[in-house]
């Protein structure tokens, strides 16, 4: 039976585009919608070529149950947060238990929590002279970046690496692993 993915993002959308591209020719897993809280998000343009429905929502729709209702009608098997910065409420978790995952650009539990995203994370990694960083894909719970870890991947950091270089290394891990982990999670449910 076909599996259905919903993607939620706030900004650039490179991970969303990568996921859409990965599943574009898959006959068993489909991206059925891309949602964003930012009407100027690049993610809208990035997914246009895939013919996937996009929808912009505001804080009210996100918190009053309207967006949950819209997404529930699409019967998602997995909701993927890819650069989405708002905190997921208990109403979402109750409606979609263990069906919401997130990617974080660090090796959690390091550098997680409110305000720790993108360059903020990479700057903290650089300032602490860490020898490695990576990505964490995890289930979403009531707290920022504290849900059960599904997958982590690491990359070495050199002393001369700039924040942009660190970001680039982390993006490579995201692109290489995020779609595969989603695929594995959805196929595990088929067994």
12: tokens are 């650039």
Residue count of the chain: 191
Reply yes or no on whether 171 is catalytic: no
Backbone angles phi, psi at 102, to 5 degrees: -135, 155
Biggest CA–CA distance in the chain, Å, is: 50
Residue that has been written with the tokens 């967006």 in this structure: 67
142, 97 Cβ separation under 8 angstroms: no
99, 92 Cβ separation under 8 angstroms: no
Cα–Cα separations (whole angstroms), residue 11 to 37, 65, 78: 9, 22, 20
- What angle in degrees, to the nearest 10, is found between the helix axes of 118-127 and 163-188? 120
3, 30 Cβ separation under 8 angstroms: yes
User: Which positions are annotated as active-site residues?
Assistant: 104
């Amino acid at each position: 039976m076909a599996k259905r993915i919903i993607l939620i993002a706030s900004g650039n959308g490179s991970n969303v585009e990568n996921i859409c591209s990965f599943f574009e020719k898959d006959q068993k897993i489909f991206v059925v919608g891309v949602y964003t809280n930012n009407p100027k998000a690049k993610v809208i343009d990035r997914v246009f070529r895939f013919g996937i429905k996009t929808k912009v929502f505001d804080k009210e729709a996100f918190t009053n149950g309207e967006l949950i209702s819209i997404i529930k009608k699409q019967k998602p098997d997995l909701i993927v947060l890819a650069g989405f910065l708002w905190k997921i409420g208990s109403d979402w978790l109750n409606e979609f238990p263990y069906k919401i995952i997130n990617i974080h650009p660090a090796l959690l539990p390091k550098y997680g929590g409110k305000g720790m995203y993108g360059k903020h994370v990479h700057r903290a990694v650089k300032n602490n002279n860490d020898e490695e960083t990576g990505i964490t894909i995890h289930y979403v719970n009531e707290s920022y970046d504290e849900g059960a870890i599904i997958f982590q991947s690491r990359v070495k950091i050199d002393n001369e690496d700039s924040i942009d270089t660190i970001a680039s290394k982390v993006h490579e891990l995201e692109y290489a692993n995020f779609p595969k982990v989603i695929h594995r999670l959805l196929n595990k449910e088929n067994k």
